[in-house]
């Protein structure tokens, strides 16, 4: 079973939330309506809360954790978190995008319609402003996102809601 209590804290799932087989959701974690947690992800809300907003997705192999020195990890609505991302003690605002293999460290914020590129590392306390793309290790400002970039990112979040619905109804696990 992918849902685990930690002390008195129990994961909470909103209507239509999807947790794939093999994912582990532990403790004080809230998955809002239509949110999805994909295969082999770990969301561990043991020392502070994790909130995943409506229709946001945490893609395969990603880790979301918290630290006692923050108020937890908050992921807003309609966010994309790419495969193998590490999200730790930070804030992802609505419609933000974190690319494949990226790392977002304690106290960071990725603002609405901002993007952290694949493989980037956002060091503690940094902020990616609205409409900007940051890349590199450590991540730095690269360019402003175009209207087309923002529209594509927003469409990606909507596509994952539909994909989660299909995976949830795809039947039983084969031997």
DSSP-assigned beta bridge partners for residue 133 = 115, 143
pLDDT for the residue 99: 98
* Mean pLDDT in residue range 132-144: 98
174 belongs to a structural domain: no
pLDDT at position 144 is 98
Cβ–Cβ contacts within 10 Å for residue 163, how many? 14
Q: What SS3 class is residue 84?
A: coil
pLDDT grade, residue 69 (50/70/90)? confident
Q: Is residue 14 part of a domain?
A: yes
Q: What is the domain extent for residue 138? A: 3-168
In a domain, 21, yes or no: yes
In a domain, 51, yes or no: yes
Domain count, the chain: 1
In sequence order, what E strands does 21-135 have?
A: 24-31, 36-37, 42-52, 57-58, 63-65, 73-75, 80-81, 86-88, 91-92, 97-98, 103-104, 109-110, 115-116, 121-122, 127-128, 132-135
Alpha-carbon distance of 127 to 163, in angstroms, equals 30
25-39: pLDDT as tens digits:
999 999 999 999 999
- Residue 173 is assigned to a structural domain of this protein: no
- The confidence score (pLDDT) of residue 170 equals 75
Q: In the prediction, which pLDDT does 1 show?
A: 60
In a domain, 175, yes or no: no
Query: Are the CB atoms for 79 and 97 separated by under 8 Å?
Result: yes
CATH of the domain at 159: 2.160.10.10
Indicate the DSSP class of residue 70.
Answer: S
């Amino acid at each position: 079973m992918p849902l685990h209590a930690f002390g008195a804290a129990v994961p909470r799932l909103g209507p239509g939330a999807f947790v794939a087989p093999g994912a582990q959701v532990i403790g004080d974690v809230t998955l809002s309506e239509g949110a999805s947690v994909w295969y082999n992800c770990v969301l561990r809300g043991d020392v502070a809360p994790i909130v995943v907003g409506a229709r946001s997705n945490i893609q395969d192999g990603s880790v979301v954790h918290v630290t006692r020195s923050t108020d937890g990890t908050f992921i807003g609505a309609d966010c994309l978190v790419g495969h193998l991302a590490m999200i730790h003690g930070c804030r992802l605002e609505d419609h933000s995008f974190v690319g494949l293999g990226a790392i977002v460290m304690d106290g960071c914020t990725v603002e609405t319609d901002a993007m952290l590129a694949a493989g980037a590392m956002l060091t503690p306390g940094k902020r990616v402003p609205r409409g900007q793309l940051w890349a590199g290790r450590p991540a730095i400002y690269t360019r402003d996102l175009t209207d087309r970039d923002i529209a594509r990112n927003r469409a990606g979040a909507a596509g994952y809601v539909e994909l989660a619905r299909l995976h949830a109804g795809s039947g039983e696990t084969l031997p």
